[in-house]
Amino acid sequence: ATPTSIMAGSGRAAEFGILFKGGEHLEATHKIDTILLDKTGTVTNGTPELTDVRIAQGYKENELLQLVASAERLSEHPLAQALVAGIKNKGIEIQDPLSFEAIPGYGVKATVQERELLVGTRKLMNQYKVNIDTALEEMTNLEQEGKTAMLVALDGKYAGMLAVADTIKATSKEAVSRLKEMGLEVMMITGDNRQTAQAIAMQAGIEHVIAEVLPEGKAEEVKKLQQQGKKVAMVGDGINDAPALALADIGMAIGTGTDVAMEAADITLMRGDLMSIADAIEMSRKTISNIK
């Protein structure tokens, strides 16, 4: 590869908002055969909104919502921000929790007004031995609509469920179909549950889904694909995605995402939509074929 053509290629890519960290990445990109897309903030807009509230028998909606918002207000997770904003919108006043603990990949644990709160996944409830039998059917229904449902336990008992919905980016579906036409295998990875992940993937035209991956597990999944001989481009925006972005053959960070993701990646996609992935690979292929 001649340095001149690599430089010209990088320059042209930059005009499209595709920033290669070095010329070697422009070269490596043309060998990619598998695209692994993070769900939240990559395939989707990443700004979920509160859509559903279910209250278990014997609990009061306003009281429970106030406790949940107070428990979540110190969390930086987009799901927590969606819950807090949605509850505030209902005119409910929020307090500071007495204690707060984020449990990455599971949810939060907090003490509010001397009451013990858990908000999060089935696994979180199982860990704390909360009986959620009466909630499961409704939870699955919400998830099959592509929503993320979070269970709430109050003093060790199931008390209600809140769901948020995130929407796929306007160009995600078209971009996925273009990537497939280019002969690339497209997959999605997420910490979210299988039903929600599959509903979102279907909207975007993605068949392969890796769901319920714990925050530290995304890099592990990249490694597994590489061990199958695949050349993997990981695309993500979050702190959670950084180890996978670093390990992948090519890491692509969404420019609207976290600095941590951009630092770990080889390419930053400033436009933030998935069409840029196809553009980057096309430009790399062209640059390399001009050299050969």
Q: How many CA atoms lie within 13 A of 116 on its CB side?
A: 7
Name which of 97 and 105 has its Cβ closer to ligand ADP. 105
Q: State the binding partner of 148 from Mg ion, ligand ADP, none, CB within 5 to 8 A by kind.
A: ligand ADP
Name which of 24 and 155 has its Cβ closer to ligand ADP. 155
How many helices (H) does the chain have, and how many strands (E)?
A: 12, 13
Q: State the binding partner of 77 from ligand ADP, Mg ion, none, CB within 5 to 8 A by kind.
A: ligand ADP
Could you give the CA distance from residue 174 to residue 269 in angstroms, rounded to a whole number?
17
Residue 38 known to be catalytic = yes
Q: Which amino acid is at 255?
A: G
Residues 210-249 binding Mg ion (CB under 5 A) are 237-238
Beta bridge partners of 163: 52, 149
**The binder of Mg ion chosen from 9, 41, 105, 120 (CB under 5 A):** 41
Q: Is 266 in the site for Mg ion (CB under 5 A)?
A: no
Q: Taking Cα atoms as reference points, which of 67, 114, 66 lies closest to residue 91?
A: 66
Q: Taking Cα atoms as reference points, which of 274, 227, 280 lies closest to residue 250?
A: 280
Q: Is 192 in the site for Mg ion (CB under 5 A)?
A: no
Could you give the CA distance from residue 119 to residue 156 in angstroms, rounded to a whole number?
11
Least gap, CB of 234 to Mg ion (angstroms): 11
Q: State the binding partner of 217 from ligand ADP, Mg ion, none, CB within 5 to 8 A by kind.
A: none
Q: Which two tokens stand for residue 82?
A: 């969606």
Q: State the binding partner of 191 from ligand ADP, Mg ion, none, CB within 5 to 8 A by kind.
A: ligand ADP
Q: Taking Cα atoms as reference points, which of 96, 94, 121 lies closest to residue 108?
A: 121
**3-class SS letters over 30-54:** CCCCEEEEEHHHHHECCCCEEEEEE
Q: State the binding partner of 237 from Mg ion, ligand ADP, none, CB within 5 to 8 A by kind.
A: Mg ion
* Site residues for ligand ADP per CB under 6 A: 39-40, 72, 75, 77, 79-80, 105-108, 119-121, 148, 150, 190-192, 215, 238, 240
Beta bridge partners of 167: none
Q: Which stretch binds Mg ion (CB under 5 A): 40-48, 108-116, 124-132, 147-155?
A: 40-48
**The binder of Mg ion chosen from 29, 30, 36, 38 (CB under 5 A):** 38
The binding site for Mg ion (CB under 5 A) comprises 38, 40-41, 237-238
Catalytic residues: 38
